[in-house]
Amino acid sequence: MSSHRWYDRYILQAKHKAKIIILGSYDAIKRLSGVKNYLRANDYKNAKLVADVDYRPRYSDESEEEYNFRKSLHAMGYADILLFVFYDNVKNQGVDIEISCAAQQLREKIPYSSVFIEKSYQQKTSTMLRGLIRNYKIDCKFFEDDEELKQLALGACVQHLYKLDYIWSP
């Protein structure tokens, strides 16, 4: 039984260290926050939305669009695990660009990334998005409702956690 306690302690420490960024349309901010809160309740204390990430203030000559783009790239670079969420009936252009940027500029993050697509949105995804997911072999799952998404996100975090070597050092 003591080996289980030792193992459980390391699992908990690893969960607390893992930095997770959840990316999705801010039209669905409450739903994204629900995923974040669920992960935190399951000991992933560093689960965040891009809005939660500390970043420098916007420069006076910088447009809001430029600022948001840079903040998103910064958040993805900060994270160990990236979770991309595509909901139906919202604007998903931002998360489309984020996953493309991750694939092109942050390739080392791709093995620790997962995509979640609401089943009702599946047929609406572009062939470019589907091609990117397949080309980079990004973990992709489909969900029916928020409860299923939360379970899938938790499972993905566990899956990625075990691949993050540095997380396991004391």
In whole numbers, what is the pLDDT of the chain averaged over residues?
Answer: 92
**7-11, 18-22, 115-119, 126-130, range with the lowest pLDDT:** 7-11
Q: What is the pLDDT of residues 44-99, one digit of tens each?
A: 999 999 999 999 999 999 999 999 999 999 999 999 999 999 999 999 999 999 99
Q: pLDDT class for 2, splitting at 50, 70, 90?
A: very low
- The CATH code of the domain that includes 60 is 3.40.50.450
Q: pLDDT class for 154, splitting at 50, 70, 90?
A: very high
In terms of residue numbers, what domain contains 125? 2-168
Distance CA 120, CA 117 (A): 8
DSSP string, 33-86: HHHHHHHHHTT-TEEEEGGGS--PPPPTTS-HHHHHHHHHHHHHHH-SEEEEEE
**Tally of domains within the chain:** 1
- Give, in degrees to the nearest 5, the angle at Cα 159 between 155 and 164: 140
Q: What is the pLDDT of residues 99-120, one digit of tens each?
A: 999 999 999 999 999 999 999 9
